[in-house]
């Protein structure tokens, strides 16, 4: 979501001062009303990594979105697009779409959260448009081939992670998260609207809930996402896990040691 211009507070995007200290890439690539695809992310990442290596440096990929990570490190073959089919699917409720996906591509349905409408629609679009299951493309997200990338995960206890999620969200609200969401809302694409917290801030701005209620809902959804991310990455045997009960920066020496080998 940090590829979208203007979505700064809600995505915890690196600040101008942080970017001045260290070059950051793949930020602010698109307007919020653009449809940004995995294919485009893959292309932009390839260009950035090539440029970094060309200057004699090494790229450090940071983030928690598993599909996008694997698109880069595992060279996933990204299927084409069928806009007409997607438009038809958009007129159907998420629950019905998920049942249909479970019928035509059970492996894909098992890997996708039934509430994640965007991914359910995409899997059905590809399956119906290409005539082959969405789960059959590329090595698959359950395949872990050899890769030139060194993968490291930072592990925190769930209680510590929940505290950090709450503290970050409070800070984002103090920095103007609600105003940012209201300003962006008229020009947010369906993809951009999937960003955590924006719907809750907009619900509060519309008088549908109190700020405390918006906070609790957004924090709960973020904690749920963190659990899904952990399950996703725990399946990958190539990841070296580093854990701490306190400040994640405590693992920095070990992380750099693993990275520099």
Quick one: pLDDT at residue 138?
A: 61
User: For the chain, where are the E strands, in sequence order?
Assistant: 152-155, 240-243
Question: How far is residue 80's CA from residue 128's CA, in Å, rounded to a whole number?
Answer: 12
For the segment 14-50, what is each residue's pLDDT rounded down to a tens digit? Answer: 999 999 999 999 999 999 999 888 889 999 999 999 9
Residues 48-66 pLDDT 10s: 999 999 999 999 998 878 8
- Indicate yes or no: pTM above 0.75: yes
Between residues 260 and 50, the one the model is more confident about: 50
Q: Which range in 72-86, 171-185, 190-204, 244-258 is most confidently predicted, on average pLDDT?
A: 171-185
> What share of the chain has pLDDT > 70, as a percent?
97
DSSP string for residues in 51-78: HHHHTT---------HHHHHHHHS----
**Length of the chain as a residue count:** 261
- For residue 245, name the pLDDT band (cuts at 50, 70, 90): confident
Q: What is the pLDDT of residues 208-223, one digit of tens each?
A: 999 999 999 999 999 9
Give the per-residue pLDDT at 248.
87
Q: Which residue has the higher pLDDT, 112 or 141?
A: 112
**pLDDT at position 218:** 98
pLDDT at 140: 62
Q: Given this model, what pLDDT does residue 47 score?
A: 96
User: Does position 141 have pLDDT exceeding 70, yes or no?
Assistant: no
Measured distance CA(257)–CA(148) in Å, rounded:
17
3-state helix, strand and coil shares in percent for the chain, rounded to the nearest 5: 55, 5, 40
pLDDT score at 106: 92
pLDDT of residue 16: 92
Q: Any idea of the CA torsion for 125, 129, 134, 137, to the nearest 10 degrees?
A: -130
When pLDDT is cut at 50, 70 and 90, the band that residue 111 belongs to is confident
**What is the per-residue pLDDT for 38?**
86
Of residues 191 and 126, the one with the higher pLDDT is 126
What is the pLDDT of the chain when averaged over all its residues? 91
- Cα dihedral 152, 50, 27, 71 sign: negative
Residue 91 clears pLDDT 80, i.e. is over it: yes
């Amino acid at each position: 979501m940090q590829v979208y211009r203007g979505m700064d507070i809600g995505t915890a995007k690196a600040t101008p001062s942080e970017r001045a200290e260290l070059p950051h890439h793949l930020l602010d690539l698109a307007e919020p009303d653009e449809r940004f695809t995995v294919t485009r992310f893959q292309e932009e990442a390839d260009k950035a990594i090539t440029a970094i290596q060309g200057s004699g440096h090494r790229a450090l990929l940071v983030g928690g979105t598993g599909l996008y990570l694997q698109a880069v490190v595992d060279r996933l073959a990204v299927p084409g697009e069928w806009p007409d089919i997607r438009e038809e699917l958009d007129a159907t409720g998420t629950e019905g779409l998920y049942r249909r996906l479970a019928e035509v591509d059970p492996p894909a349905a098992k890997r996708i959260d039934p509430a994640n409408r965007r991914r359910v629609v995409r899997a059905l679009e590809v399956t119906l448009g290409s005539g082959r299951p969405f789960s059959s493309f590329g090595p698959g997200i359950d395949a872990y081939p050899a890769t030139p990338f060194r993968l490291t995960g930072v592990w925190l206890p769930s209680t510590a992670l929940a505290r950090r999620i709450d503290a970050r969200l409070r800070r984002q609200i103090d920095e103007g998260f609600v105003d940012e969401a209201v300003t962006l809302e008229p020009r947010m694409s369906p993809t951009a609207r999937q960003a955590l917290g924006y719907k809750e801030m907009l619900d509060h701005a519309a008088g549908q809930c109190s700020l405390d209620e918006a906070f609790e809902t957004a924090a709960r959804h973020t904690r749920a996402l963190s659990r899904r991310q952990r399950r996703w990455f725990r399946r990958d045997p190539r990841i070296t896990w580093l854990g701490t009960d306190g400040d994640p920066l405590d693992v920095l020496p070990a992380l750099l040691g693993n990275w520099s080998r």
